[in-house]
Amino acid sequence: MQFFKVKSVEETYDLIRQHVKAITTQETVFLSEALHRILAEDLVSSENIPSFRRSTVDGYAIKASDIYGSSESMPGFLNVVGEVHMGEEVSQELEAGEAMYIPTGGMVPKGADSVIMIEHCEDISGLLNTYRSIAPGENIIGIGEDIREGETFLTKGTMLRPQEIGAIGSLGIDRVNVYQKITVGYLSSGDEIVPYETNQILPGQVRDINVLTIGNMVKEWGYDFVYGGIVPDQYEIFQKRAAELAEKVDCLILSGGSSVGAKDYTTEVIQSIGDPGVYVHGVSVKPGKPTILSQAGGLPVIGLPGHPASAMIIFQLFGSEILTRLSGGKTSELPSRTIAKMKKNIPSSPGRSDYIRVKLSFEEGEWWAEPILGKSGLLKTLVQSDGIIEIPSNKEGVVIGEAVSVILLR
C-alpha cells in the first residue's frame, strides 16, 4: 500500500461515505434525557398544535373589518365586553363592534379573526379606541399551524436539539426511540507527551491538551468519551493499548504519530487493528495534511495530527462527518460557522437588532441563506433552521445577494 498519497477534501468525504456505516442498535429513552440523541423513527403527530386559536401578543380580540381605516387621527371604536383568562376555554362569542382583552397565548374567542396589539389601542372606560387597521389572521396562530395532526413533524436521523425536544414534548410524548449512543475512544502517542496536569515539564516535553480539545468536541456533539491515556513511541505497547481500547468503543482516535518519521507507528498500529484498513493517509488541507482515516471492520479509526490546531481543524472537518454517519444522524456539509448570501430581501426597523432564522443551502460553490419566516411563537421555525443572522440596529435590512454572518444552530 502506498501511504501519504494525499486526497482532496472532496475525495476524503466520498471515502468516508463509502466506508462508515451507521450503528443501527436502538433504545427507548425518556424525553428529558434525549438531548443530542438521534431519532430512530419518524414521529407523526397525533394532534394539532395548537389545539385552539392562540394570540401571539397582548391585545384585544376583534373582527378586523370593524376597524378598517383606523388611524391616530381617526380612531375606530369598539365595546370591550370581557377578557380572556389563561388556561380557560372562552365560551362567549364576539359580535360585530365588540372587543375582548386577550393575553399572549390566550384562546381567541369565536367571532374574532384577529388581535390588535395593546400598543395600538386604548381602553377608555370600556370603549376601545383603535389607532391602526389590521388584517384578518393578524397576531393569531391557527389550529394546527405549528404541527398538524397526521403530519410527520420529525424524521428518522434527526439529532434532537432543545427545539426538537420541545416540539415533541408539546405533543405529550415522554419517550422516544433513538439509536445507540456512540462511544469515542482517544489515545495519545509520543515520547514527548505528558499529562496536561503536569506542573513542571522538561525541555522538549509537551502537555497533552488534545485530550481536552478533542474530548470536549466529542462531548459537545453529544457522544460519550473514553480516554485511553498516553503511550510511548514503542510499537508493541502502542499496538496493545490501541487494540484494547478498540474493543470498548465505537470509534477510535489516535493523536500524534501520523507524519512520516522513524518512530511514527500510527499507520502500522491502525493496519493491525482490522481490515480493510487505511483508506486515507494525507489530506490536501493546511493545517492538517498528515491525517489518517481507517476502517477496522465496523470501527472507524482516525489518526489526527499531534499539533492542537491541526487536530481540531481536522476533527471538525472529518471527525464530525464520521461520527454523524456512525450514529445514524443526517449528514451535512455545514461548516462550524459560515458567511452566506441572502436569498431574499429582509426589511428591518432601525433602532433594534433583528435575529432572523435561516436555512442554508450550498449552490454553485457558495452558501446561501433562505429566511425561515413565521410567527414568533412557532416551534417549527426553529426546527427548520440551520442558523440565525443578525441585522444590526443601524441597518434597515439586508438585500438579495448580500453577504451575512450566520450563527449556526447545533
pLDDT tens across 273-312, in order? 989 989 998 887 766 678 899 999 889 999 998 888 778 8
**DSSP H or E run through 301:** strand 299-304
Query: For the chain, which domains are there?
Result: 9-23+183-326 (3.40.980.10), 26-49+145-179 (3.90.105.10), 54-141 (2.170.190.11), 338-408 (2.40.340.10)
pLDDT at position 288: 64
> Using CA atoms, how far apart are residues 94 and 140, in angstroms rounded to an integer?
15
For 65, other C-beta atoms within 10 Å of its C-beta total 11
Whether the link from the prior residue into 300 is cis, omega within 30° of 0, is no
**DSSP H or E run through 378:** none
> Using CA atoms, how far apart are residues 209 and 217, in angstroms rounded to an integer?
13
Helix axes 266-273, 235-246, angle to 10 degrees: 40
pLDDT in tens, the chain (410 residues): 444 577 888 889 899 999 999 999 999 999 999 999 999 999 999 999 999 999 999 999 999 999 999 999 999 999 999 999 999 999 999 999 999 999 999 999 999 999 999 999 999 999 999 999 999 999 999 999 999 999 999 999 999 999 999 999 999 999 999 999 999 999 999 888 899 999 998 998 889 989 999 999 999 999 999 999 999 988 899 999 999 999 999 999 998 754 455 456 788 888 899 899 899 988 877 666 788 999 998 899 999 988 887 788 788 889 989 999 999 998 754 445 678 999 999 988 776 667 788 899 988 888 999 998 776 556 677 778 888 887 877 888 899 999 988 877 65
> Using CA atoms, how far apart are residues 259 and 282, in angstroms rounded to an integer?
9
> Using CA atoms, how far apart are residues 33 and 89, in angstroms rounded to an integer?
33
For 74, other C-beta atoms within 10 Å of its C-beta total 8
- pTM of the prediction? 0.77
> Using CA atoms, how far apart are residues 289 and 96, in angstroms rounded to an integer?
73
> How do residues 46-62 score in pLDDT, each as one tens digit?
999 999 999 999 999 99
Per-residue buried b or exposed e for 240-266, using 16+ beta carbons within 10 Å of the residue's own CB: ebbeebbeebbbbbbbbbbbeeeebbb
* Nearest in space to 121 (alpha carbons), one of 109, 142, 139: 139
